[in-house]
């Protein structure tokens, strides 16, 4: 089975599972899943986030998701418990579709590591 087919199957499985758990059956989009990863990484689940904090959560998620690819490296947690990353390597210029595939692959890998999907 090709890598693309496996990624599609795992992505569908993940979206279905997360949508059922967090969206009352509505289908979660890529950005919403990135946001969930940010909340997971921050670990502050039961609170309301301001708009700028939501943007920061997505940034945390992207850094964490792309860390295994060598683009970011974890540095430290600040006094409020927020993780900080540094850029190790600039992302190459990618077309929108290529960005989407990279993020989906990174998200699937993340949730495989967390044993949320198989």
Q: The whole model's pTM is what?
A: 0.92
Nearest to 66 by CA among 20, 39, 99, 40: 99
Angle at 114 between CA 38 and CA 45, to 5 degrees: 35
How confident is the model at residue 59, as a pLDDT?
A: 97
Q: Are 118 and 109 in contact (CB under 8 A)?
A: no
Phi–psi pair at 85, nearest 5 degrees: -125, 155
Share of the chain above pLDDT 70, in %: 99
CB atoms within 10 A of CB 61: 25
Share of the chain above pLDDT 90, in %: 86
Q: For 70-99, how does the pLDDT look when each residue is reduced to its tens digit (9 = 90+)? A: 999 999 999 999 999 999 999 999 998 999
Check pLDDT > 90 for residue 117.
no
């Amino acid at each position: 089975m090709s890598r693309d087919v496996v990624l599609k199957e795992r992505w569908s499985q993940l979206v279905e599972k997360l949508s059922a758990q967090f969206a009352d059956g509505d289908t979660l989009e890529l950005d919403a899943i990135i946001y969930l990863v940010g909340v997971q990484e921050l670990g502050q689940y039961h609170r309301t986030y301001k708009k700028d904090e939501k943007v920061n959560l997505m940034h945390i998620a992207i850094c964490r998701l792309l860390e295994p690819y060598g683009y970011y490296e974890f540095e430290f947690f600040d006094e409020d418990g927020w993780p900080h990353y540094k850029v190790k390597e600039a992302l190459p210029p990618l077309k929108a579709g290529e960005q989407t595939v990279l993020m989906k692959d990174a998200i699937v890998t993340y949730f495989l590591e967390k044993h949320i999907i198989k």
